[in-house]
Amino acid sequence: GVGKTTLLKQIYNKLLLDLQNTFGVVIWVSVSKDLRLEKIQEQIGIKIGLFDKAWKKKSLKDKASDIFKILKEKKFALLMDGLWERVDLTKVGVPLPDSKNLPKIVFTTRSLEICGLMGADMQFKVKCLAAEEAWKLFQTLIGYEALHEGHPEVLGLVMDISKECYGLPLAL
């Protein structure tokens, strides 16, 4: 892909390093195409220390209540990767912003429509690299010397491969 998950991981790691100064809790949630609120609750529950056999057996509503009680008192960041549809965060137990918790919620999606449905304050479109940028990245990854000191036919073949990646950084 264009690197949405990679970018979100970088943000997550930076927030973890700055944990003492900014957020009391930084939570990573992977969301699958078949949205299941229980899976989101499970990932949050593990991060905030709720998850055990007894908690796993609770209802969606009870888990949401438990999550809410903890997060409403904290300044937290919730990073959700791979939204395919709107997630009702109140059903998960994520509190709405107030003067105590001031949460930051960041998510990746392929759909601008989902950004609207989630009420995103800001949207950033991650684009493919231009052909020249893609070629520079490819040279950096493979090594300039390895590409230019070898057989000329290999260089042509490698350039063709780079073009077939359509500027997708992860394909390069």
pLDDT in tens, 88-101: 999 999 998 877 77
Question: How many domains does the structure of the chain reveal?
Answer: 2
Please check whether residues 13 and 74 belong to one and the same domain. Answer: yes
- Distance, in Å, from the CA atom of 67 to the CA atom of 159, rounded to the nearest integer, reads 51
Q: In whole angstroms, how far apart are CA 4 and each of 77, 112, 120, 153, 169?
A: 17, 13, 16, 34, 10
Calculate what percentage of the chain has a pLDDT beyond 70.
Answer: 81
| Strand boundaries in the chain, DSSP class E | 25-30, 76-83, 104-109
- Distance, in Å, from the CA atom of 38 to the CA atom of 55, rounded to the nearest integer, reads 11
Please check whether residues 56 and 8 belong to one and the same domain. Answer: yes
Tell me the residue range of the domain where 100 lies: 4-117
Kindly state the tokens that stand for 96: 């709405």
Q: Is residue 124 part of a domain?
A: no
Say if pTM beats, i.e. exceeds, 0.75: yes
Kindly state the tokens that stand for 113: 């429509």
Residues for the chain: how many in total?
172
Q: Is residue 89 part of a domain?
A: yes
pLDDT tens-digit readout, 36-61: 999 999 999 999 999 999 999 999 99
Please check whether residues 107 and 136 belong to one and the same domain. Answer: no
pLDDT of residue 172: 43
Please check whether residues 45 and 99 belong to one and the same domain. Answer: yes
Please check whether residues 97 and 135 belong to one and the same domain. Answer: no
- Distance, in Å, from the CA atom of 57 to the CA atom of 91, rounded to the nearest integer, reads 17
